[in-house]
Amino acid sequence: MKTLTKKLIFAVLTALFLCGVSGCVTGETGNGTHNKAYNKAYSEACVEIYNQNYNETDNETYGRGYVMPEHINSGFVINALCGGETRGRLAGSKDNRETENFLTEVFKKINLLPFVKENYKWRYSQTTYDPEASGSYAAVELSNRRYEDLVFGKDFVFNAGAGYINKYFAVTDIVYTDKAGEKFYAVIKDPAEWDGFREYGTDYFMAVEDRGLVVNPAPREDGDNVVIYISSEFARKINWDMVSGIYVKNNDSSEDKAPNNIIGYIKGKDSSKAVFVSAHFDAAGYNGGRYSQGAVDNASGVAALVSIAQKFAMPGVTPETDIVICAFNGEESGRAGSAAFVDEARFLYDECYNINIDCVGLKRGGDYSFGSSDRNSAKLIESFTAFLEANGVACNMDGGASSDHISFFAAGVPNICVYQESADIIHTVHDAKDAVDAEAVENIADIIYNFITENKINMFI
């Protein structure tokens, strides 16, 4: 630790020296510019120390069993992320760490420059969950004093972020809404009486899931999360008018870990400007013995990201601006990876914008959608719309996407997210590699590459 501390002190002093040489102060100056030299040096120092402290996970093989081909296509990336013994790439898991190392090898293979010093890994910290360590249990009490146990993974799953629960809810505490068919909800009358609801930010306690049990539940269409999902099969066999209460138990399996984003870039003619192209590689993980391969969400986006990167990294190609290729971790955990990265990286460029890719290339998908509810992105949206129309691409404008572009929105950076509606299979066992058309992924990669190339140094500010 003494050596590490000395190195960190030296690195910070170096950063401060660069700050003095540039005549700037940290943060924003009066004219709104940022001290790129200070932030670059400080970021490099932090990443170097992180990697020395956590190198026990950095030396693992990527564990996918694939020989790296000469040209990496979308089919290879999707198969590598979803095939073999993969178990959902949940942030912080062994499977997720193997994916970090696999993508590091891919970035090296296609000759991307490491974004910070000689390392593609941008480490950050986040709270992770292990659903299979939660000891989950649930039972329904009927009015004849009989209990119906629910089998974890077959009859129910908890949301991975539900945290510690050990409580009996009497029927007087619960209002059943829309009991017909698959739309059953159990809603706690007074969420304020249970801290877990306030912390989790939901009104719904339980819902029937008719897509097959979800792995790590995504927000429902109405925007609210649910604490526990039960299968439609179990819901049908229960006479809910006879239910007098529900007992649930779930241990807190949270743990603070230090995963990595994988970041590389192609140096452009003007390195004061950048286009951040991003896609998240973590997926929903596993729950109750079930897991999602995360092919649509979001091996497809990572495959498109790699395809775009290869085009910009070809010999003889020099983009007008830096192209920063961001494979983000932790998107399924509140966009933890992108939030940590953008919070620092946005200071490294005078102007930039973001194109995020999430859930593309569905074999049975509809038109592409893109959007951002950010007013700062109006010029980018207008230009992207015109480009698609001019090239005969059917696409809908929709500001409702929830993905890593929101981290750029929070930083005031123009952004859009390109995606296909896929709510019926994401976070379920049906999100498998046979749901994705690799050729369609390559097509959307071509569209994004051509858009960036055609717009040259336009940052849409």
The predicted-structure confidence for 349-404, as pLDDT tens digits, reads as follows 999 999 999 999 999 777 778 877 678 898 999 999 889 888 888 787 776 678 99
Q: Which position has the higher pLDDT, 159 or 394?
A: 394
Residue 59 lies in a domain: no
Do residue 107 and residue 144 come from a single domain? no
Q: How confident is the model at residue 184 (pLDDT cuts 50, 70, 90)?
A: low
Do residue 135 and residue 124 come from a single domain? no
CA 83 to chain centre: 19
Residue 253 has pLDDT above 70, yes or no: yes
How many angstroms separate the CA atoms of 84 and 75, rounded?
14
Query: What is the maximum alpha-carbon separation in the chain?
Result: 79
How many angstroms separate the CA atoms of 126 and 191, rounded?
27
pTM: predicted TM-score of the whole model, two decimal places: 0.80
Do residue 139 and residue 232 come from a single domain? yes
Q: Which position has the higher pLDDT, 297 or 425?
A: 297
Residue 293 lies in a domain: yes
Do residue 294 and residue 426 come from a single domain? yes
Structural domain for 419, as ranges = 64-128+257-455
Q: Could you tell me the CA-to-CA distances from 188 to 191, 206, 225, 253, 377 in Å, in that order?
A: 6, 9, 13, 24, 39
Neighbouring C-beta atoms of residue 12, cutoff 10 Å: 15
Who contacts 387 (Cβ-Cβ below 8 Å, separation ≥6)?
Answer: 450, 451, 454
Do residue 280 and residue 335 come from a single domain? yes
8 Å CB contact between 321 and 270: yes
Residue 367 lies in a domain: yes
Per-position DSSP letters for 290-310, written without gaps between them:
EE---IIIIIHHHHHHHHHHH
Residue of 397, 395, 389, 353 lying closest to 371 (CA atoms)? 397
How many angstroms separate the CA atoms of 261 and 327, rounded?
6
Residue 241 has pLDDT above 80, yes or no: no
Do residue 231 and residue 266 come from a single domain? no
Residue 411 has pLDDT above 60, yes or no: yes
Domain count, the chain: 3
Q: Is 84 helix (H, G, I), strand (E, B) or coil?
A: coil
Do residue 11 and residue 75 come from a single domain? no
Report the b/e string of 116-154 with b at 16+ CB within 10 A. beebbbbbbebebbbbbebebbbebbbeeeeeeebebbe
Do residue 228 and residue 298 come from a single domain? no
Report the b/e string of 325-335 with b at 16+ CB within 10 A. bbbbbbbbbeb
Do residue 352 and residue 410 come from a single domain? yes
Do residue 282 and residue 380 come from a single domain? yes
Average the pLDDT over each of 20-34, 146-160, 266-280 and give the range with the smallest value: 20-34
Do residue 74 and residue 176 come from a single domain? no
Q: Could you tell me the CA-to-CA distances from 235 to 142, 144, 238 in Å, in that order?
A: 13, 18, 6
How many angstroms separate the CA atoms of 195 and 174, rounded?
16
How many angstroms separate the CA atoms of 350 and 210, rounded?
48
